[in-house]
Amino acid sequence: MARESAPDRDADSSSDRNLSRSARMRLILERDGARCVWCRREIDTERVASTTEHLVPRIKGGPSWFENEMAACARCNRERGHRTPADWIDELERRGLEPDRDAVLRALRLLQQAIAERGGQRRARPYVVSQLRRLERGRPQPY
């Protein structure tokens, strides 16, 4: 995947891990729009505490790549904890919110593609596959 606009001062073309936090945030907002992927609250980077959210949590082996990050408000980030995207989407929908399922699906597919291109990520791979399967199936199963 070409990424001509990304700064590559240190010539590590394999990832954006050396981008500053604010540069990554800017890229993520450009890709996904300036709102929380979970609650859709607008993210005003000047005023609201905004944060990046890992699709596959670091503790589950998620890489610290741009492709594994989405914009989320601080509240959702905190409340989600280590829940999977599908579990957290189910929970938000139970609360009457409308999380951006499509954006999450799109991000998971891009992450899967990035993993296929770069290799590795043995723990994240099956996590991504199972999340894609659950989200593509649609609505949560009743208990």
| 128 binds Zn ion per the rule CB under 5 A | no
Closer of 62 and 99 to Zn ion (Cβ):
99
| 104 binds Zn ion per the rule CB under 5 A | no
Binding mask 26-65 for Zn ion (x = CB under 5 A): ----------x-xx-x------------------------
Binding mask 62-81 for Zn ion (x = CB under 5 A): -----------x--x-----
What stretches of the chain show up as alpha helix (H) in DSSP? 21-32, 74-80, 85-94, 101-118, 124-137
CA distance 72 to 142: 27
Residues 70 and 103: beta-carbon distance below 8 Å: yes
CA distance 131 to 87: 9
**Where on the chain is the footprint of Zn ion (CB under 5 A)?**
36, 38-39, 41, 73, 76
